[in-house]
Amino acid sequence: MSVRIFFFIFVLLFTPSGLLKNVFGQTIEMVFIESPPFYFTNPAGKPEGILIDIVDKVMKKAGYDWHAEAFPVKRMARMMADGRAHLWVGIPNLPEFEGTTYVGESEIFKVTLYSFRTGNSPPVLKKEDLAGKSLIVLRGYSYGGWINFIKDPSNNVKHEEPDTHESAFAMLKAGRADYLLAYKEPAERILKKTDIPDLKQNEISSNILRFVVSRKTPNAKEVLDKLENAYQQLKAEGVLKIEERK
């Protein structure tokens, strides 16, 4: 019997079952951006949020160990492209993902983008309505591609980029800009504790969040298939009761 075969049998016989996954399995490195209540890092330095809870259930069902860490959006996208990160659960159409990732079919979550305003400003229905206006956007957000229009100097959009939703709504309340763009869930969280007189809002667009796996992940297609299957099984079992967010 060769030394290699003997070592393999020894490991199978004497390694606790909980450790076998670490010896022969795969740990998924997940990245996210700070965007409560979907993703955030708690005071203890641990990831939390609506999507973290979903991913935790899916990973356990699929049999993967995993680790999640927050990064700015541009760094997150580069890490996915070059394989330093394996998984992102979010909007799949970032430019850095083109040709570098596999995207799942399952609709993990639906997020809706809103425009907020005060006074007599007309509603924003399309990105062209922002030309020549002043705007508050959260740093690091792409807003489904709208950020490219906003940052194009030819469109003359004066914009400010606070780091938190709290700061963004405080700026809108203080009259620092005509409009604020924000997704529904984090906006609702702030508005429950912040009163802004004469606040108006309207829906702009919605995006589906999906599993996105870096093509440089070991066994990338197999990983995506396992996550998709685990997610669908959990839905069928009633473990994931996810309301559509409109």
| Cα–Cα distance measured from residue 231 to residue 234, given in angstroms and rounded to the nearest whole number | 5
Q: Rounded to two decimals, what is the model's pTM?
A: 0.72
The sign one gets for the Cα dihedral 185, 186, 187, 193 is positive
Looking up tokens 């997020």 gives: 111
Let me know whether 141 and 87 are in one domain: no
Let me know whether 126 and 165 are in one domain: yes
When pLDDT is averaged across residues 93-105 and rounded to a whole number, the result is 94
Q: Which of 20-34, 48-62, 195-209 has the lowest mean pLDDT?
A: 20-34
Q: Which of 3-17, 55-69, 199-213 has the lowest mean pLDDT?
A: 3-17
When pLDDT is averaged across residues 164-193 and rounded to a whole number, the result is 93
Let me know whether 90 and 142 are in one domain: no
pLDDT at 157 over 50: yes
Let me know whether 18 and 35 are in one domain: yes
Residues 76-92 have pLDDT tens digits of 999 999 999 999 999 99
pLDDT at 159 over 60: yes
**How much of the chain is helix, strand and coil, in % rounded to 5?**
40, 25, 35
Show the tokens assigned to 102: 């596999």
Tell me the residue range of the domain where 155 lies. Answer: 111-206
| Cα–Cα distance measured from residue 70 to residue 148, given in angstroms and rounded to the nearest whole number | 23
**Looking at the domain assignment, is residue 80 inside a domain?**
yes
Percent of the chain exceeding pLDDT 70 equals 87
Q: What is the pLDDT of residue 141?
A: 81
**Looking at the domain assignment, is residue 83 inside a domain?**
yes
Q: What is the pLDDT of residue 242?
A: 57
Let me know whether 145 and 201 are in one domain: yes
Q: Rounded to 5 degrees, what are φ and ψ at 14?
A: -115, -5
- Give the mean pLDDT of the chain: 87
Q: pLDDT-derived band of residue 25, with 50, 70 and 90 as boundaries?
A: low
Let me know whether 130 and 43 are in one domain: no
Q: pLDDT-derived band of residue 98, with 50, 70 and 90 as boundaries?
A: very high
Please report the DSSP string for 64-77 in residue order: -EEEEEE--HHHHH
| Cα–Cα distance measured from residue 120 to residue 28, given in angstroms and rounded to the nearest whole number | 49
**Looking at the domain assignment, is residue 1 inside a domain?**
no
Let me know whether 102 and 25 are in one domain: yes
More confident residue, 9 or 62: 62
Q: What is the pLDDT of residue 24?
A: 44
CATH of the domain at 202: 3.40.190.10
Let me know whether 96 and 145 are in one domain: no
Let me know whether 126 and 99 are in one domain: no
Pair type for strands 200-214 and 87-90? antiparallel
Show the tokens assigned to 187: 């906006």
